[in-house]
A and B are shown apart, each in its own frame.
Chain A
Amino acid sequence: MSIFERLTKIDRRIIYFVLGLAILLPLLKPWGIPVNVMDRSRDLFTFIEDSTRGRAVMISFDYDPQVMPEVHPMAYALVHHLFALRRKVIGLCLNVQGTGMAVDVFNRIAAEYNERARSREDSIIYGRDYVFLGWKSGYVAVILGMGESIKGVYPKDYYGNPIDELEVMEGIKNYRQIGLCISLSGAAFPDTWVAYAGSRYGLRVGAGVTAVMGASYYPYLQTRQLVGMLAGLKGAAEYETLLDEHNIPIKKKTAAPGMDAQNLAHLVMIVFIVIGNIGYFYLRRR
């Protein structure tokens, strides 16, 4: 077998090993390559800063644990930002498997804030500053139903408290009082929010999606049906960078430390594809 033939027939275990190593080594010893921030991430950040003042922000945890490494860090960063800005936060789920994710994010970030808090005013308190409504089946009916009345769909929160007894829900009846809804998702939930809540009720929608879906949402970004979007772990790292730029401290970054591994893995992928093509062209010419 000539060398060019070999180039087209590298054993899959070698590919696995090299790719695994390319991801492992930078995680063991990060180089700290700076993260470049894309426009769509900056747009989401800016919208939250400037256009949600005095209004509540909804976060829809529409992802399941399968895509947790990509989307969970986004949820941490976004909730961090919203707590820092003291926006009222309303969490909910359209995907049943997302409820545990939401519980984890709210608990962890609220605990981080409360560790630093010096008074009750300074703290982040469940029911006063944020609420987690939980999940309902039939996501289209959930989105449409909340446009008329959030209480009609969610009479109680995830923990069984009647939502009209919660301070955070005072004055919030439906989407008219919501400044933005961010759908964090590994499936087509953001476009469902756009189609049903965006077009019918005028709710502004943002998205945090797995990178697989990133490219397909650009038409919505151009029409501003999505005010901004985070795509993949890189999107979460971009948001962490934006928080840094605006002096909002994060105790433990969950996305940015993975970016060196991401860079090197991309390079390895490109090299393998190029090697395969070199072999292919040589053999074709022969």
Chain B
Amino acid sequence: MKRNLPLLICFVSGTVMVVQFFIPHPVSRDLYTISSKWFIVVSAFALVLAVGNLIRSHYNKLKRRLEGWPYSIVTLASLGVMAVIGLFFGVKADSTFQKIYLNIQAPLGATMFSLLAFFMASAAYRAFRARSLEATLLLVAAFVVMLGVTSLGSFIHDKVPDFAEWVLKVPNLAAQRGILFGIAFGAIATALKIILGIERGYLGGGS
């Protein structure tokens, strides 16, 4: 029951969704429309659960006075304040909620990611060595794109941007397409394994 019921639900929902694609009958269409509405609702609960887990983890850290526990107060308090402001005072364009988003959340997120520029520069300097033909090709392609996609290339030669476009549109495209085929076949095979109950990782451990 504990394993078979989820496997049955997975099989039925998966099979119905594959079959309805090929049978445009009103019944299959209705089933598809209703189930997609259900999907939206169930996945919303999944997000709430994710936030619940975050709260639980920080609460435990706080309770056990684990290392860095004062920061958990920051997380929990800011989470609570933001949620209350949004839930009870609205999310309109001129709301405090939107102002916090634009002036606190957005700068924090964007700056956090912008640090990567420096880490990448340092890592690239250390790791990119033209040790072999393959590594040299990688470096040359990177340089061509870095120069050709920006305006730098046209200062060297007016054909550099054209060459960069060619690299992107021909050899790069071929490699990306090969990888895309691999991903697509892999995704389809995994989806089939999930529907047929061969892949059961999502059930987690236990009986």
Contact = CB atoms under 8 A, between A and B. Distances in A.
Direct contact between A and B in the complex (CB less than 8 angstroms)? yes
B40 A103 contact: no
Interface in A148-203: 148-149, 152-153, 158-159, 200
A152 B33 contact: yes
B65 interface: no
Given A145-B33, A222-B173, A36 B121 contact: no
Contacts of A282: none
Interface in A251-275: 259, 262-263, 265-270, 272-273, 275
A99 B128 CA distance: 39
A260 B150 CA distance: 9
B109 A66 contact: yes
Contacts, number: 161
A138 B106 contact: no
B161 A141 contact: no
A82 interface: no
Contacts of A33: 151
Dominant SS among interface residues on chain A:
helix
Contact of A277 (B92, B130, B161): B130
Contacts of B161: 36, 38
Range of interface residues on chain B?
35 or more
Contacts of B165: 38-39
A138 B146 contact: no
A144 B113 CA distance: 32
B150 A219 contact: no
A69 B109 contact: no
A99 B122 CA distance: 34
A125 interface: no
B106 A259 contact: no
A127 interface: no
Contacts of B139: 273, 277
A266 B40 contact: no
